Amino acid sequence: MEFSVKSGSPEKQRISCVAAGVFESRKLSHSAQILDEASGGYIANLIRRGECEGKLGQTLLLHNVPNTLCDRVLLIGCGREKNFNAKAFHKTNEMVARFLDERGATEVFSCLTELTVKNKETAWKVSHAVQATEDALYHFDQLKSKKESSRRPLRRVVFSVPSRRELPEGEQAVRNGMAIASGITLAKDLANLPGNICTPTYLAEQAKALNKTYREFKVKILEETDMEKLGMGALLSVARGSRQPAKLIAMEHKGGDKNQKPIVLVGKGVTFDSGGISLKPGAAMDEMKFDMCGAASVFGVLSACAELQLPINVVGLVPATENLPDGLATKPGDIVTSMSGTTIEILNTDAEGRLILCDALSYAAKYDPDTVIDIATLTGACIVALGNHPAGLLGNHSPLVNDLLSAGKTANDRCWELPLWDDYQEQLDSNFADIANIGGKEAGTITAACFLSRFTKKYRWAHLDIAGVAWNSGKAKGATGRPVPLLMQYIFDRMEDMGAK
Ligand code: BES
Ligand code: MN
Ligand code: ZN
């Protein structure tokens, strides 16, 4: 898709479509008013007759509106003006993209970016409008033998900005939005691929491919023999049941000063989680191909940072393996030694995410990180606690936790803090090893984070449990690309703090 920004009057756009908002009930937005005045009250007249109430997501397509230079005007319902928030903004942009893509308008001048969204400036609106458009038009048909593409797809979207003065920031916002959108698309694509294609080796190859595309990018793949040398007994214990070799993928975007400590992102990369010997029940087990969504988000963020050549150092670490039952698989009761030396009694082989993450988190210390954030589809309990709206957030450094909460709000990709109190730590006590890998049925998301906290004492660390937000089930089954928007916002905010922007 081609995106751009322009400042100009809507009735003067020589383009196949102009999109403008209508609020509930029947209140024209500023741009719709301008179109109406040019047309001599044509639009207001239709609205008065009840053609468009302005309900959120409602559409009305008009052809040959008098005294306009465009072929069509698309009126788009925006709901109540005082409720027009980030979510409604996203939805209306999605509606415009989907509606026009199906109806033969190949280009649009969208005035939605001129609407007031509380506390959001033009750059935010443009970047998010780009992301919403790409989100709406995303489909995963790589593995369909017949592709269902639109006959005359939408190809060019021009976002209206209020003045010429705002063009430079608008153009930068288009670039940011496009890079974030590609990161989201990459995350979705990797996650939507089935487990027989997206194996640990496949993920390693994707990292090498990024390395070819971007200078300033470095990739190192650790093989099982390397993990043995490093003493990564926890990570290796999960891979024992699989015939696919595990990989520890290390990607580095080196955009910042050599002495600047990196932000390290660690993404859970279980390319299929059957539960292992503690086998999962069969219903919806296919969705456990999404158990590498944390890894996918790390790929998405690293590629967006590289695409934008951000002046910051970011490392992505992805421990990748399958979790399968087999004669050699780890059994409940087995005890393994992690890279840190801590011994772990594996009471449930389905609590495998924390086992691969703990060794990756120990390895992260080698980068002398400024901050470490891990992203993982870690616990079903997180869905019970928070549902599908926010990711779970826990951490050992409250400014970092607050930064992530705030980035999530800004990016409309929210997370919510759960308490990482010492009170919960004793649930991990083991009779036979230093710790057990499960903490009983209470507070499962917190005890999983408690487990990780034993391996993250050397640095500032936060954990995002994305079990509830990384993919949709049911008819709209598919990866969401979350939390790429949140992490990108966090990185932008950090760059601002460091004066690197
Ligand atoms: N990948 C799952 C968590 C999960 C389950 C995410 C369902 C999204 C939907 C993880 O590896 C797992 O199996 N966790 C167990 C932990 C338990 C054994 C302590 C769980 O949540 O049941
Ligand atoms: Mn599991
Ligand atoms: Zn898992």
Nearest by Cα to 213 from 186, 232, 192: 186
d(C-alpha 65, C-alpha 212), whole Å:
50
pLDDT the model gives residue 456: 99
pLDDT the model gives residue 166: 97
Which residue has its alpha carbon closest to ligand 1 atom 9? 380
Tell me the catalytic residues: 280, 354
Atom of ligand 1 nearest to the CA of 348: 18
CA of 348 to the centre of ligand 3 (A): 11
Query: Contact 313/256 with Cβ under 8 angstroms?
Result: yes
pLDDT the model gives residue 85: 97
Q: Is the CB of 348 under 6 A from ligand 1?
A: yes
CATH number of the 182-498 domain = 3.40.630.10
Q: Is the CB of 467 under 6 A from ligand 1?
A: yes
Low-confidence residues in the chain, pLDDT < 70: 500-501
Q: 472 forms bridges with which residues in the sheet?
A: 478
Up-side HSE of residue 462: CA atoms within 13 Å toward CB? Answer: 25
Secondary structure of the chain: what % helix, strand, coil (to 5)?
40, 20, 40
pLDDT the model gives residue 148: 81
Q: Can you read off the two tokens belonging to residue 171?
A: 């153009």
CA of 230 to the centre of ligand 1 (A): 27
d(C-alpha 397, C-alpha 388), whole Å:
25
Q: Is the CB of 380 under 6 A from ligand 1?
A: yes
Cβ neighbourhood burial of 165 (10 Å; 0-12, 13-18, 19+): exposed
**CATH number belonging to the domain at 2-160, selected among 1.10.510.10, 3.40.220.10, 3.40.50.970, 3.30.590.10:** 3.40.220.10
Q: Do domains 2-160 and 182-498 have the same CATH topology?
A: no
pLDDT the model gives residue 109: 98
189: left (phi over 0), alpha (psi -120 to 50) or beta: alpha
Q: What is the largest CA-CA distance in the chain?
A: 83
pLDDT the model gives residue 500: 54
pLDDT the model gives residue 483: 98
pLDDT the model gives residue 332: 98
pLDDT the model gives residue 215: 85
pLDDT the model gives residue 150: 73
Q: Is the CB of 352 under 6 A from ligand 1?
A: yes
Tell me, what amino acid is at 237?
S
d(C-alpha 94, C-alpha 229), whole Å:
50
- The domain limits of the chain are 2-160, 182-498
User: What pLDDT, in 10s, does the model give residues 81-134?
Assistant: 999 999 999 999 999 999 999 998 999 999 999 999 999 999 999 999 999 999
443: left (phi over 0), alpha (psi -120 to 50) or beta: left
